[in-house]
Structure 1
Amino acid sequence: MIKLKSLGEKLRWYLTNLPVVTTVLFVAIIVCYKIKLARHFTDVILCVQPHMIMTGQVSRLIKYVIHHKNVKNLLLSLASLAIFGTVAERQAGSIRYLFLMTIFAILSASLTVFFSILLGFSSHYSSLMYSCPALGLTPALFGIIVLVFKNSPMKKSVILFVMLPNVAIPWLLLISSQVILQDTTFISNLSGCIVGSLYVCSLRGIITLPSVLVKYVDNIFKKIFKYIPIVKYIPGSSPMLPQYHLEKDQPELNGIQHQPFRVPDDCPVPISEDSVPKYKVDKLLEMGFSKEESVVALTAANNNVDQAVSILTNKQIGSQATVLQMKGN
């Protein structure tokens, strides 16, 4: 009974705190797919075709995101959005997440075209020049999946009761999607994983939104979405995409190596209470932590209670971290 109550609380929080960008994308690709069926659009109208890109139709590098070949491809995008898109948006903030999705979509398609042209020199793979390799949002979402697991405070995660290193999970999901769905385009999804890996390894400091712009957009949309129920705008100027710094000789717990999160003491960090589930805050309050500390720690730990407790007990939060929009005050 307790588990059912906890599950109900989680589901209720999830359905009443839907990140706005993920929600809009979720609805948009369903609507676009229905329009495609109703008007009998052919695949070649929107999809990425290398020979079309070479003739100057570069707009296909972004238009393809609304094209899903069949129901299985559509469901793969929707499931990835619901599971990983919501996590990524809460980590990065809505405006940064939209920026990353756009960049990942364009770079994934560009890399797909590059691979297709490269393989097209071989007579065996010459058909790739005229194929429709990129399938909707899936390539960009594979890049997002790489980012989500890279920014996890845990070095390993449990997938189907098996403990796996986070760095390997996106690639296992890539292979699994190909084996299970079979008609997914491997080259496009592979490009998405490669783009995500390049971003977290070297491009993060180069391809980014200016902090001034992020704060400006945050100030505008926080006021707008303050009066809109269910969907939430996640501020990108708060540390929703924490930088984890690996330290030497860290203790391991059950074979899992933790990476500490630190909010600097020299700058205030505004965090919205709406970004964390209330029932998890209540758990930390029962342990004797303050409400403000609990919200900051849960934000740093991606809503993982155990990791939040570790952050609080090790005093890894700066003294000037503040929580905004405190309800009931």
Structure 2
Amino acid sequence: MTQYVATSPGLYPLPDWSKEQLQDLKGNQREDLIDGTESQEIESVYAEVREELIARQQEAELDRIVEGQGRWDDFIAHPLAVHDSVETRGIVRYYNNNNFYREPVVTDELTFDGDVAAELDKASDHVGAGLQGVLPGPYSLADLATDDYYGDEDEFLAAIAEFLAGELDAFEGVETVFLLEPSLVENPFENDRGEQVSTAVDTVASATDADVVVFPYWGALEEHVYAHLLDADFEALGFDLIADHDSNVYNAQEYGTTDDVALGIVDGKNTLVEDAETVRERIEWFEGQTPSEEYGTVYATANVELSYLPVSKFEQKLDALGEATRQEVVA
């Protein structure tokens, strides 16, 4: 029997009350932030944000609870942006939208940092079962960064993968990990790099006993990318059914998929709120179109990060996911 799991890719919008506080505090402590440190006042605000975001997911009865990534001003480039071996330089457009991040330039060896694990450790104080980690996938993080140290594209990708594996190895108590891989869609690799990319994903996914979901988004994977990605060993592949449902279903029909899947079926950029019935219909449609007789687990999620939404709409979308996937409803 298929298990339906309500979750999200994280990166939530900050609660309205926190934005002005953080803006004022960061403006007054700009030098500390450039040096990669945060004051006790800033940490206190983020702690309250974390607690609120977790409580809201629990209220929505999500099956997997993320930390919320309130500190991730640089989106999924964050794990590099806070690293001692990385310089953050100019402002760069984040994929093809009106959001921006600081360019992370790797200037020295990428050693263990532990920033994301520390966030999860703080989140675990408020979460019982169902804690979910969120990390960029190795291909996307390498794509968003600039290499000023390793000097070779494949060596840089391997170094990013080893770095992420070390960060993931420090996660404690997580049941699921989402590896966010939008660059696999937005900037696909050439066919001759397929083995290197598959190996990089393997390196990260093998660093944990938790279930790993590789989650591409902003569209569908090109066929050669999809085929190479399936050569890696992870539990669930994601499909952005909002941006391109036909091509995603074609890939699953043509090449098969993992035993578990993650379906991006709630629009993380559109303020129109889906109801629970619509969410269920989208799950049933995918199941009916794809060749698997029965998936082990279907993760029902937003198709992209949720920080693009107003807080009220973000909260309503969490509610829809939670309601749509309650076992007594879908059984």
TM-score past 0.5 threshold? no
In the superposition, the TM-score normalised over structure 2's length comes to 0.31
Q: Which has the higher strand share?
A: 2
**The structure with more radius of gyration:** 1
